[in-house]
Amino acid sequence: MRRLLLAGLAALTLSAGAAEAQQRTRLTVYTALENEQLAPFKAAAERAVPGIEIAWVRDSTGVITARLIAERANPRADVIWGLSVFSLLALEAQDMLEPYTPRGAEALRPNFRSPRSPMTWTGMDAFVSAICFNRVVAQSRGLPRPSTWADLLNPAFRGQVAMPNPASSGTGFLTVAGWMGAQGEAAAWEYMTRLHENIQVYTHSGSAPCNNAARGEYAVGLSFDMRSVALRNQGAPIDVIVPTDGVGFDLEATAILRGTRNLEAARRLVDWTVSREANELYGRFYALVAHPDVAPSVQNYPAEFAQRLVNQDFAAIAARREEILREWTRRFDGKSAPRN
């Protein structure tokens, strides 16, 4: 009798587990988040939002943006979680985002919220372009420590600089947008032309140049602040330099795709992505998050970066994104790394 009772209980447990699995809504979430962020973000969201299962589709910003646009007539994503606001504004212009104001969104910083009502996107965090500078490589090759973007034009850096391709990397694009914001467009193109002489390779990932510099492949990697800080905290011999002549910045943001077949579940997930709990998770990786009451926990972050942000009109830059990228590709794509 005891065996029968245990077998019956086991069968009920398996049945309940199967039923729960069947009731869960699988959300396809497109993202450009860093690979190491996917597991903790997924675990936290699924714990906080019962009944959903996140299936990530992850790639660099440019690739994800192009894929979303290519799928416009038959969307495959339900939610975008962790993509450049430049990209989301481009999608918004094509009427691809579902209007929805998440619960609690009014608590976010004003510049982290879509100005539309209902909103079409909400910001998560901000990151800036930065220089990863390998002290060991620099010392061995007699290279000076840069403090400005202009310093990288020194002929001593010939072949010692890696930068993300802005057509495939959001970090690359925000870097170019920052130069245009700080210098003006004509001067920025002239600067990029001169910098091109010192570039060894344009990568298709925003993280790769800093990873390259940390391994000693190059003295300088243009990347984003948090990759630089993470590698330094892991012991890489790099300095994290936020140039004093102005840096571009970007917001990572969240949106629902118009046409999703899982609208209710998508809304529940996006409600959580603006919560204080979610922002505390973002604060483990970024020094500036959307919720003003959340103090990020990142260690060894340059304190002065906020004073060096350039003035940026996200909507205006997004409207010209394709034009800027076509011109950049025409001028500089010859040094881009092969695509995988």
- Is-contact 290 124, C-beta < 8 A? yes
As given in the structure block, the two tokens for residue 112 are 């982290």
DSSP 8-class letter at 81:
E
Sequence letter at residue 18: A
As given in the structure block, the two tokens for residue 265 are 């579940």
d(CA 72, CA 63): 14
Question: What angle in degrees, to the nearest 10, is found between the helix axes of 321-332 and 185-196?
Answer: 30
Sequence-separated (6 or more) residues with CB below 8 Å from residue 309: 128, 246, 247, 249
Q: What is the pTM of this model?
A: 0.77
pLDDT surpassing 60 at residue 338: yes
Q: How many CA atoms lie within 13 A of 7 on its CB side?
A: 4
Residue 203, H or E segment:
strand 199-203
As given in the structure block, the two tokens for residue 85 are 């606001």
Q: What is the pLDDT of residues 121-134, one digit of tens each?
A: 999 998 889 999 99
Residue 158: pLDDT band by 50, 70, 90 thresholds?
very high
Structure confidence at residue 276 (pLDDT)? 97
Structure confidence at residue 227 (pLDDT)? 84
Percentage of the chain beyond pLDDT 90 is 75
Sequence letter at residue 5: L
Residue 102: pLDDT band by 50, 70, 90 thresholds?
very high
d(CA 199, CA 221): 10
